[in-house]
Amino acid sequence: MNMRNVLTIVYFVLTIYSFSGGLVHGVANYSSWKLISAEDFPVVHKYVTKRILAVYVPFFFLSVVANILLIWFHPPAISTMLVAIAAVLNLFIWVVTATLAIPIHKQLDQAKSTELIDRLVKVHLYLRVIPGSLAMIVTALMMYQVLGAAS
């Protein structure tokens, strides 16, 4: 198996894992944080954040790296334009995470704030889930292209 194929498989696996994990975490956890007492919230938030840093963040980071490498090293069957669109969407999500979501999380580490939780839910939905869904559609098209060429 050549490097292009390995990189493509790694990208597909990491992208599906990252999108699914991020979607479930944001949709299931963020709004439920309102149910945690103000006293317990900082401890719970820090606990969840540490685990997300271990089981999610490295894989999403690697998916973006693989996506960027695919711009130059993708199989001929996959459109360079689709790879580039996915990369732009994934980089956008990283920028949103770094500039909007992480600062909110840092504030939530200190104290519970329903206003901050609501803001995080909106940032997650509109600026991460929607672009992430578009990236998944683009990724599915890339999968279709490579699988179509193989048959």
pLDDT tops 80 at residue 151: no
Total number of domains in the chain: 1
Mean pLDDT value across residues 124-151: 95
Mean pLDDT value across residues 109-122: 97
- pLDDT-above-70 percentage for the chain: 100
Q: Which are the contacts of 114, defined by CB distance < 8 A and separation ≥ 6?
A: 34
Contact between 116 and 107 under an 8 Å Cβ cutoff? The reply is yes
Mean pLDDT value across residues 89-94: 97
Mean pLDDT value across residues 32-46: 96
Res. 1 pLDDT band, cuts 50 70 90:
confident
Mean pLDDT value across residues 102-109: 97
Q: What domain range includes position 131?
A: 3-147
Buried b (16+ CB within 10 A) or exposed e, 79-105: eeebbbbbbebbebbeebbeebbeebb
Q: What is the pTM of this model?
A: 0.93
Half-sphere exposure for 20 (CA within 13 Å, toward CB):
7
Calpha distance 72→60 (Å, rounded): 20
The per-residue pLDDT of the chain, averaged, comes to 96
